[in-house]
Structure 1
Amino acid sequence: MYEAAIDDAVLVVSELLSNALRHAHPLPSGGVGVAWRWTDGHVEVAVSDGGAATEPRAGRPTLSSLGGRGLGIVEFLAESWGVRHEGDVTTVWAVLHCPQPTVNGHHSASGGSGNTEVAALRECG
Protein backbone atom coordinates (compact mmCIF):
# COMPACT_ATOMS: atom_id res chain seq x y z
CA MET A 1 0.00 0.00 0.00
CA TYR A 2 1.05 3.57 -0.41
CA GLU A 3 2.74 4.99 2.70
CA ALA A 4 0.26 7.89 2.86
CA ALA A 5 -2.67 5.43 2.92
CA ILE A 6 -1.04 3.50 5.77
CA ASP A 7 -0.46 6.75 7.65
CA ASP A 8 -4.15 7.68 7.24
CA ALA A 9 -5.28 4.25 8.49
CA VAL A 10 -2.97 4.49 11.52
CA LEU A 11 -4.30 7.96 12.34
CA VAL A 12 -7.92 6.78 12.09
CA VAL A 13 -7.23 3.77 14.38
CA SER A 14 -5.50 6.12 16.82
CA GLU A 15 -8.50 8.47 16.91
CA LEU A 16 -11.01 5.62 17.34
CA LEU A 17 -8.92 3.98 20.03
CA SER A 18 -8.44 7.29 21.87
CA ASN A 19 -12.20 7.87 21.86
CA ALA A 20 -12.88 4.36 23.17
CA LEU A 21 -10.39 4.78 25.99
CA ARG A 22 -11.60 8.26 26.91
CA HIS A 23 -15.37 7.99 26.52
CA ALA A 24 -16.48 4.34 26.68
CA HIS A 25 -16.66 1.44 29.07
CA PRO A 26 -14.34 -1.51 28.48
CA LEU A 27 -15.53 -4.76 26.96
CA PRO A 28 -16.67 -7.43 29.46
CA SER A 29 -13.08 -8.78 29.34
CA GLY A 30 -11.80 -5.41 30.61
CA GLY A 31 -10.19 -4.23 27.36
CA VAL A 32 -11.03 -2.88 23.93
CA GLY A 33 -10.81 -4.62 20.56
CA VAL A 34 -9.05 -3.39 17.43
CA ALA A 35 -9.58 -5.05 14.04
CA TRP A 36 -8.71 -4.33 10.44
CA ARG A 37 -9.43 -5.95 7.09
CA TRP A 38 -7.88 -5.11 3.74
CA THR A 39 -9.58 -6.13 0.51
CA ASP A 40 -9.76 -4.76 -3.02
CA GLY A 41 -7.95 -1.50 -2.36
CA HIS A 42 -9.83 -0.62 0.84
CA VAL A 43 -9.06 -1.12 4.49
CA GLU A 44 -11.76 -1.28 7.14
CA VAL A 45 -10.58 -0.49 10.65
CA ALA A 46 -12.74 -0.95 13.73
CA VAL A 47 -12.51 -0.39 17.47
CA SER A 48 -14.91 -2.19 19.81
CA ASP A 49 -15.67 -1.25 23.40
CA GLY A 50 -18.38 -1.62 26.02
CA GLY A 51 -20.32 1.43 24.88
CA ALA A 52 -20.98 4.82 26.45
CA ALA A 53 -23.85 6.99 27.58
CA THR A 54 -23.77 8.92 24.28
CA GLU A 55 -23.55 7.87 20.63
CA PRO A 56 -20.22 8.57 18.87
CA ARG A 57 -20.61 11.49 16.45
CA ALA A 58 -18.36 14.01 14.77
CA GLY A 59 -18.28 17.24 16.72
CA ARG A 60 -17.85 20.79 15.52
CA PRO A 61 -15.54 22.29 18.15
CA THR A 62 -14.66 25.95 18.31
CA LEU A 63 -11.18 27.06 17.27
CA SER A 64 -10.17 27.41 20.92
CA SER A 65 -11.42 23.94 21.95
CA LEU A 66 -8.72 21.58 23.15
CA GLY A 67 -10.49 18.43 21.91
CA GLY A 68 -13.48 17.14 20.01
CA ARG A 69 -11.85 16.82 16.58
CA GLY A 70 -11.20 13.05 16.46
CA LEU A 71 -14.29 11.86 14.62
CA GLY A 72 -14.10 14.93 12.37
CA ILE A 73 -10.65 13.73 11.33
CA VAL A 74 -12.04 10.22 10.79
CA GLU A 75 -14.91 11.67 8.72
CA PHE A 76 -12.43 13.63 6.58
CA LEU A 77 -10.04 10.72 5.91
CA ALA A 78 -12.51 7.86 5.53
CA GLU A 79 -14.78 7.09 2.59
CA SER A 80 -17.39 6.08 5.16
CA TRP A 81 -17.65 5.42 8.88
CA GLY A 82 -20.29 4.41 11.35
CA VAL A 83 -21.30 2.71 14.56
CA ARG A 84 -22.54 -0.87 15.12
CA HIS A 85 -24.18 -2.12 18.29
CA GLU A 86 -24.14 -5.83 19.09
CA GLY A 87 -25.43 -6.50 22.59
CA ASP A 88 -23.11 -4.77 25.05
CA VAL A 89 -20.46 -4.14 22.39
CA THR A 90 -20.20 -0.91 20.43
CA THR A 91 -17.96 -0.88 17.36
CA VAL A 92 -16.92 2.28 15.55
CA TRP A 93 -15.62 1.47 12.06
CA ALA A 94 -14.18 3.36 9.12
CA VAL A 95 -13.37 2.40 5.51
CA LEU A 96 -10.42 4.05 3.79
CA HIS A 97 -9.22 3.84 0.20
CA CYS A 98 -5.82 2.08 0.26
CA PRO A 99 -4.74 1.09 -3.23
CA GLN A 100 -1.58 -0.89 -3.91
CA PRO A 101 1.11 0.81 -5.97
CA THR A 102 1.38 -0.56 -9.49
CA VAL A 103 4.48 -1.28 -11.54
CA ASN A 104 3.93 -1.64 -15.28
CA GLY A 105 0.20 -2.18 -14.73
CA HIS A 106 0.64 -4.90 -12.09
CA HIS A 107 0.22 -4.70 -8.33
CA SER A 108 3.72 -4.73 -6.94
CA ALA A 109 2.99 -6.36 -3.58
CA SER A 110 0.80 -9.31 -4.49
CA GLY A 111 1.39 -9.79 -8.18
CA GLY A 112 -1.99 -8.78 -9.29
CA SER A 113 -5.49 -9.90 -8.45
CA GLY A 114 -6.26 -7.43 -5.67
CA ASN A 115 -8.41 -10.04 -3.93
CA THR A 116 -6.11 -10.48 -0.96
CA GLU A 117 -7.96 -10.23 2.32
CA VAL A 118 -6.22 -9.79 5.63
CA ALA A 119 -8.12 -9.70 8.90
CA ALA A 120 -6.92 -9.34 12.47
CA LEU A 121 -8.42 -8.80 15.87
CA ARG A 122 -6.43 -7.76 18.87
CA GLU A 123 -7.92 -7.20 22.26
CA CYS A 124 -6.06 -4.70 24.36
CA GLY A 125 -6.48 -4.57 28.08
Structure 2
Amino acid sequence: MVKTWPPTPLSVGRARRLLAVQLAAWDLRQVVDDAELVVSELVTNAIAHAHPPVGRLIATRFERLADGVRIEVHDAGGSKPRPRRASTEEESGRGLELVDALTGGAWGVSDRDGPGKLVWAVCTVSGGEAGASRRGEAGVDGRGDVRAGGGEVRDGGRGDVRSGRRGEVGP
Protein backbone atom coordinates (compact mmCIF):
# COMPACT_ATOMS: atom_id res chain seq x y z
CA MET A 1 0.00 0.00 0.00
CA VAL A 2 1.44 3.38 -1.06
CA LYS A 3 0.12 6.80 -0.02
CA THR A 4 1.51 10.30 -0.54
CA TRP A 5 1.31 13.00 2.10
CA PRO A 6 2.00 16.73 2.32
CA PRO A 7 5.05 17.42 4.50
CA THR A 8 3.00 18.78 7.43
CA PRO A 9 2.59 17.57 11.02
CA LEU A 10 -1.00 16.45 10.29
CA SER A 11 0.42 13.75 8.03
CA VAL A 12 2.03 11.96 10.98
CA GLY A 13 -1.26 11.06 12.65
CA ARG A 14 -2.92 10.28 9.34
CA ALA A 15 -0.13 7.88 8.32
CA ARG A 16 -0.31 6.23 11.74
CA ARG A 17 -4.07 5.71 11.45
CA LEU A 18 -3.79 4.37 7.88
CA LEU A 19 -1.16 1.86 9.00
CA ALA A 20 -3.29 0.71 11.95
CA VAL A 21 -6.28 0.12 9.64
CA GLN A 22 -4.11 -1.77 7.15
CA LEU A 23 -2.54 -3.94 9.86
CA ALA A 24 -6.00 -4.83 11.17
CA ALA A 25 -7.07 -5.80 7.63
CA TRP A 26 -3.96 -8.00 7.37
CA ASP A 27 -4.75 -9.54 10.80
CA LEU A 28 -1.51 -8.16 12.24
CA ARG A 29 -3.01 -6.40 15.25
CA GLN A 30 -0.16 -7.65 17.46
CA VAL A 31 2.33 -5.31 15.71
CA VAL A 32 0.10 -2.21 15.67
CA ASP A 33 1.61 -0.50 18.73
CA ASP A 34 5.24 -0.85 17.63
CA ALA A 35 4.46 -0.13 13.97
CA GLU A 36 2.51 3.03 14.84
CA LEU A 37 5.45 4.37 16.82
CA VAL A 38 7.88 3.50 14.04
CA VAL A 39 5.85 5.15 11.26
CA SER A 40 5.31 8.20 13.48
CA GLU A 41 9.05 8.60 14.02
CA LEU A 42 9.95 8.07 10.37
CA VAL A 43 7.29 10.43 9.00
CA THR A 44 8.17 13.03 11.63
CA ASN A 45 11.83 12.82 10.61
CA ALA A 46 10.94 13.19 6.93
CA ILE A 47 8.92 16.32 7.70
CA ALA A 48 11.30 17.87 10.22
CA HIS A 49 14.71 17.03 8.78
CA ALA A 50 14.50 16.06 5.12
CA HIS A 51 13.67 19.56 3.87
CA PRO A 52 12.26 18.40 0.54
CA PRO A 53 12.03 20.94 -2.26
CA VAL A 54 8.86 23.05 -2.20
CA GLY A 55 5.92 21.19 -3.68
CA ARG A 56 7.37 17.71 -3.05
CA LEU A 57 5.32 15.21 -1.10
CA ILE A 58 6.47 12.42 1.15
CA ALA A 59 5.19 8.88 0.68
CA THR A 60 4.62 5.86 2.85
CA ARG A 61 4.65 2.29 1.66
CA PHE A 62 3.46 -0.63 3.79
CA GLU A 63 4.30 -4.17 2.71
CA ARG A 64 2.90 -7.21 4.46
CA LEU A 65 5.52 -9.78 5.37
CA ALA A 66 4.99 -13.34 6.57
CA ASP A 67 5.37 -12.27 10.22
CA GLY A 68 4.96 -8.50 10.15
CA VAL A 69 5.19 -5.36 8.05
CA ARG A 70 7.87 -3.43 6.20
CA ILE A 71 7.34 0.31 6.58
CA GLU A 72 8.95 2.70 4.10
CA VAL A 73 8.95 6.49 4.17
CA HIS A 74 10.11 8.19 0.98
CA ASP A 75 11.11 11.84 0.73
CA ALA A 76 12.92 14.08 -1.75
CA GLY A 77 15.37 15.49 0.79
CA GLY A 78 19.05 14.81 0.23
CA SER A 79 20.11 14.32 3.85
CA LYS A 80 20.17 10.83 5.34
CA PRO A 81 19.12 10.29 8.95
CA ARG A 82 21.77 9.28 11.42
CA PRO A 83 21.12 8.19 14.99
CA ARG A 84 22.65 10.35 17.66
CA ARG A 85 22.90 10.28 21.41
CA ALA A 86 20.61 12.90 22.86
CA SER A 87 21.64 14.38 26.20
CA THR A 88 19.32 13.96 29.15
CA GLU A 89 18.39 17.66 28.88
CA GLU A 90 17.27 17.47 25.23
CA GLU A 91 13.57 17.07 24.48
CA SER A 92 14.09 15.36 21.12
CA GLY A 93 16.68 13.35 19.23
CA ARG A 94 15.80 9.83 20.34
CA GLY A 95 13.54 8.78 17.46
CA LEU A 96 15.98 6.55 15.59
CA GLU A 97 17.09 4.92 18.85
CA LEU A 98 13.42 4.10 19.45
CA VAL A 99 13.05 2.72 15.90
CA ASP A 100 16.19 0.64 16.42
CA ALA A 101 14.84 -0.79 19.69
CA LEU A 102 11.35 -1.54 18.35
CA THR A 103 12.67 -3.26 15.22
CA GLY A 104 15.65 -5.05 16.75
CA GLY A 105 17.91 -3.13 14.36
CA ALA A 106 15.88 -4.07 11.26
CA TRP A 107 15.85 -0.62 9.64
CA GLY A 108 17.97 1.36 7.24
CA VAL A 109 18.28 4.03 4.57
CA SER A 110 18.24 3.41 0.81
CA ASP A 111 18.57 5.38 -2.37
CA ARG A 112 15.47 5.45 -4.55
CA ASP A 113 14.55 6.31 -8.11
CA GLY A 114 14.49 10.09 -8.37
CA PRO A 115 15.67 12.54 -5.77
CA GLY A 116 15.88 11.74 -2.10
CA LYS A 117 15.87 8.50 -0.19
CA LEU A 118 13.69 6.00 1.58
CA VAL A 119 13.96 4.98 5.19
CA TRP A 120 12.66 1.49 5.92
CA ALA A 121 11.90 -0.50 9.06
CA VAL A 122 10.50 -3.95 9.72
CA CYS A 123 8.15 -4.67 12.63
CA THR A 124 7.45 -8.32 13.32
CA VAL A 125 5.07 -10.30 15.49
CA SER A 126 8.05 -11.45 17.57
CA GLY A 127 9.00 -7.80 18.14
CA GLY A 128 12.34 -6.06 18.43
CA GLU A 129 13.78 -8.68 20.77
CA ALA A 130 13.87 -11.31 18.04
CA GLY A 131 15.64 -8.92 15.70
CA ALA A 132 18.08 -7.95 18.42
CA SER A 133 18.95 -11.58 19.07
CA ARG A 134 19.79 -12.00 15.36
CA ARG A 135 22.05 -8.96 15.35
CA GLY A 136 25.55 -10.00 14.41
CA GLU A 137 24.58 -13.43 13.13
CA ALA A 138 25.02 -14.54 9.54
CA GLY A 139 21.91 -15.63 7.69
CA VAL A 140 18.85 -14.44 5.81
CA ASP A 141 15.87 -12.84 7.49
CA GLY A 142 12.21 -13.38 6.57
CA ARG A 143 12.30 -10.81 3.74
CA GLY A 144 15.34 -12.27 2.02
CA ASP A 145 17.62 -9.53 3.33
CA VAL A 146 21.12 -10.86 3.83
CA ARG A 147 22.55 -10.36 7.28
CA ALA A 148 26.30 -10.69 7.05
CA GLY A 149 28.41 -11.84 9.99
CA GLY A 150 29.39 -8.92 12.20
CA GLY A 151 25.94 -7.38 12.05
CA GLU A 152 25.74 -5.72 8.62
CA VAL A 153 22.41 -6.02 6.80
CA ARG A 154 22.24 -5.98 3.02
CA ASP A 155 18.68 -5.55 1.95
CA GLY A 156 17.60 -7.93 -0.78
CA GLY A 157 19.97 -6.69 -3.46
CA ARG A 158 18.45 -3.19 -3.43
CA GLY A 159 21.69 -1.71 -2.15
CA ASP A 160 20.44 -0.90 1.35
CA VAL A 161 23.13 -1.29 3.96
CA ARG A 162 22.71 -0.91 7.67
CA SER A 163 25.14 -1.75 10.38
CA GLY A 164 23.77 -4.05 13.05
CA ARG A 165 25.73 -2.07 15.60
CA ARG A 166 23.58 0.37 17.57
CA GLY A 167 23.90 3.93 16.40
CA GLU A 168 25.54 3.32 13.04
CA VAL A 169 23.91 3.56 9.65
CA GLY A 170 25.86 2.37 6.66
CA PRO A 171 26.31 4.37 3.46
Tell me the TM-score normalised to structure 1 length: 0.70
Residue 44 of structure 2 aligns to a residue whose secondary structure is helix
Q: Could you say which residue in structure 2 is the equivalent of 1:94?
A: 121
CA distance in 2, matches of 1:73, 1:31: 25
- Unaligned segments of structure 1, at least 5 residues: 100-125
Shift of residue 27 of structure 1?
6.7
Whether 2:107 is the aligned partner of 1:81: answer yes
Q: Could you say which residue in structure 2 is the equivalent of 1:41?
A: 67
Aligned residues: 98
Q: Which has the higher helix share?
A: 2
Q: Could you say which residue in structure 1 is the equivalent of 2:76?
A: 50
Measured at CA, do residues 50 and 41 of structure 1 come closer, stay the same or move farther in structure 2, by a change above 3 Å? same
Instruction: Give the alignment's Cα RMSD to 1 decimal.
Output: 2.0
CA distance in 2, matches of 1:63, 1:85: 33
Shift of residue 84 of structure 1?
0.5
Tell me the TM-score normalised to structure 2 length: 0.52
Shift of residue 98 of structure 1?
2.6
CA distance in 1, matches of 2:42, 2:76: 14
Measured at CA, do residues 2 and 39 of structure 1 come closer, stay the same or move farther in structure 2, by a change above 3 Å? closer
- Unaligned segments of structure 2, at least 5 residues: 1-26, 127-171
Which structure: larger Rg?
Answer: 1
**Identity percentage of aligned residues:** 37
| Paired letter, 1:62 | S
